[in-house]
């Protein structure tokens, strides 16, 4: 799978400006963001690159007195991965009860260090995950799937539309001595649950139509995808099940909350970290 990179210079640079730029880029298909001293580098599947939309983001950037420039380049998958493995080293991710696990993220938002990931792990850790059926929607590196597994989930179904992310998540499970289910997606069965702690598949939210009801669904994705996929999320939650969402800003909270209430959810908790937010809904 071919990727393109866009290297952005933000002047004057601030973390807030970098976060806003990353959120806008995520809305047009960019899926990985690497902070730099004066901006960030963002990656997108070359087939999804929309240069007109990219130019529009730069021309209409919503923060006043911020100037943004960028350069596009090819980013071969093997070189990108090798760079991450060589230059980025992350501490184990710690959970309550002295539990921890390791990952090789190969992308900034899947390292466990980003605010949205920290908040999602915090919300998940506040629940009794033991024996639960869990879905990780848009699993990326598998960091949230692994957190659910180590917190005692009975079974985790993780999916991502990006083949590269699925490979990374599979590798991270193996790194922790766990064996994901092989093969193509199939509805979760008792035999599969007994044999494997997790099933990782390449798919979009359409795979949820085949799933049995689950106790917890995790989704750390951008706002537009969350809004589009929320009906599918709710459709596979058990009554009383929890929907944990992040990947958006404070200004997005009313829109997401209104959509959730329309679908029969209630808001039971939330977290804030800078401009980023995470929400905990429950199906009534």
Per-residue pLDDT band at 192 (split at 50, 70, 90) = low
Tokens 């866009």 sit at which residue? 6
Per-residue pLDDT band at 14 (split at 50, 70, 90) = confident
pLDDT for residue 79: 46
Query: Which domains, ranges and CATH numbers included, belong to the chain?
Result: 3-86 (3.30.70.100), 90-283 (3.40.50.150)
- Whether the per-residue pLDDT at 80 is higher than 50: the answer is no
Diameter of the chain by CA atoms? 59
Q: What's the rounded mean pLDDT across residues 57-74?
A: 93
Looking at every residue in the chain, the average pLDDT score rounds to 86
Q: What's the rounded mean pLDDT across residues 20-48?
A: 85
Q: What's the rounded mean pLDDT across residues 87-112?
A: 70
One DSSP character per residue, 145-189 reads HHHHHHTT-SEEEEEES-HHHHHHHHHHHHHTT--PBPSS-----
- Whether the per-residue pLDDT at 104 is higher than 60: the answer is yes
211 vs 230: CA distance, rounded Å: 15
Contact status, residue 246 vs residue 277, Cβ threshold 8 Å: yes
With 0.75 as the threshold, say if the pTM is over it. no
Per-residue pLDDT band at 97 (split at 50, 70, 90) = confident
Q: What are the residue ranges of helices labelled H in the chain?
A: 15-27, 51-59, 77-87, 115-125, 143-150, 163-175, 190-195, 223-235, 253-262
DSSP assignment, residue 125?
Answer: H
SS3 content of the chain, % helix, strand, coil (to 5): 40, 30, 30
**For residue range 123-142, what is the model confidence (pLDDT) as tens digits?**
999 999 999 999 999 998 89
Query: Is 99 or 190 the better-scoring residue by pLDDT?
Result: 99
Q: Among candidates 75, 82, 66, which has minimal Cα distance to 41? A: 75
């Amino acid at each position: 799978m071919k990727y393109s990179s866009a290297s952005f210079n933000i002047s004057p640079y601030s973390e807030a400006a970098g976060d806003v730029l990353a959120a806008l880029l995520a809305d047009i298909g960019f899926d990985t963001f690497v902070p730099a001293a004066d901006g960030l580098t963002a990656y997108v599947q070359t087939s999804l690159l929309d240069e007109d939309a990219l130019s529009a983001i730069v021309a209409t950037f919503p923060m006043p007195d911020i100037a943004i420039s960028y350069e596009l380049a090819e980013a071969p998958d093997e070189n990108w991965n090798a760079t991450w493995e060589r230059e980025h080293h992350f501490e184990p991710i710690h959970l309550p009860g002295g539990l921890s696990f390791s990952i090789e993220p190969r992308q900034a938002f899947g390292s466990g260090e980003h605010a949205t990931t920290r908040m999602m792990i915090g919300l998940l850790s506040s629940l009794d995950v033991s024996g639960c059926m869990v879905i990780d929607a848009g699993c990326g590196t598998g960091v949230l799937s692994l957190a659910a597994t180590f917190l005692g989930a009975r079974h985790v179904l993780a999916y991502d539309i990006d083949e590269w992310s699925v490979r990374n998540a599979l590798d991270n499970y193996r790194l922790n001595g766990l064996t994901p289910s092989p093969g193509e997606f199939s509805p979760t069965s008792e035999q599969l649950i007994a044999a494997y702690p997790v099933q990782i598949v390449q798919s979009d939210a359409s795979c949820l139509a085949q799933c049995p009801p689950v106790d917890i669904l995790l989704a750390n994705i951008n706002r537009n995808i969350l809004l589009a996929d929320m009906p599918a999320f709710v459709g596979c939650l058990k009554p009383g099940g929890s929907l944990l969402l992040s990947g958006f800003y404070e200004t997005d909270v009313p829109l997401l909350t209104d959509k959730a209430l329309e679908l029969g959810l209630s808001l039971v908790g939330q977290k804030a970290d800078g401009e980023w937010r995470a929400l905990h809904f429950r199906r009534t």
